[in-house]
Amino acid sequence: MVVLSESPQENVERGLTPQMHAEDSAQIANDHRMPIDPRVRARVSATLPACRAVVAARVHAPAHAWRLFRALQIRNFAGELLDERATIERSARAAGLDPEELFEWERDPVVLDQLAEDMRLARQPLAAARALDHTLANWSGGRRFSSPSFELCRRADDVRIAVPGFQPFAAYDVIAANLLPAVDRRPNPTSVEEVLAWAGEPLATQEVAVVCDIPFEEARAELGRVAVEWRMGADGLWALSAPP
């Protein structure tokens, strides 16, 4: 968890405005064909509360942590404010967590220590990431990983690979093959319906298109025949039944 901002006021002091955020969201949606509502929000939300919630789930309910992270991403893309309690509550329920229990976990010193360590590591990119400086971002102490970025580690021998910034799917595919050459690959999906059933959660058109290795327009047409769309911005998320 990078923690881009700890309070809304911090965004104001950096000169970030709701209009700028809306323009950035529209650009990301266009560049990456992802469903993002580009409407101007009341303010630019702080990311600390959502980051703390994800770390709390990672410590106390690790099986639910990724689902919470994904739910928060989706609600952020839909236009909700990440630092509002209601947003985190709805995301927790979508991830199968009790919101009140999650908020209690957030006070755990272990959670706070791990969050601080996440922030520290995000601000100390690996040498390979520094070689790709254009993918990094500024902070008051120097350069940090931008969002999204990955550090992939093979635990058996502690081989670490940095994947900073936005990268095409093929980059992750090649890295995974090098880190885990003996792992069996799943057969290619035969339909968009198979992908949605495998995911078990709503997916964006572009996500399905990449997994199926088909054009965006073809994926959207196929999804329209078998799935229900939750519209966000210029596109949407798809599920075999109506999303929550």
Residue pLDDT, tens place only, 130-186 = 999 999 999 888 999 998 899 999 999 999 999 999 898 889 999 999 999 999 988
Task: Provide the token pair at 73.
Answer: 């991403």
For the chain, first and last CA: distance in Å?
A: 26
Q: What is the mean pLDDT of residues 199-214?
A: 95
The pLDDT value recorded for residue 46 is 96
DSSP H helix total and E strand total for the chain:
12, 7
- H-helix or E-strand containing 143? strand 142-145
The pLDDT value recorded for residue 219 is 98
The pLDDT value recorded for residue 146 is 93
Q: Which class is 8-112 in CATH?
A: mainly alpha
Q: Residue 189 is which amino acid? A: P
- Check if the beta carbon of residue 201 is closer than 8 Å to that of residue 66: no
What are the domain boundaries of the chain?
8-112, 126-179, 192-239
| Spacing of C-alpha 200 from chain mean position | 17
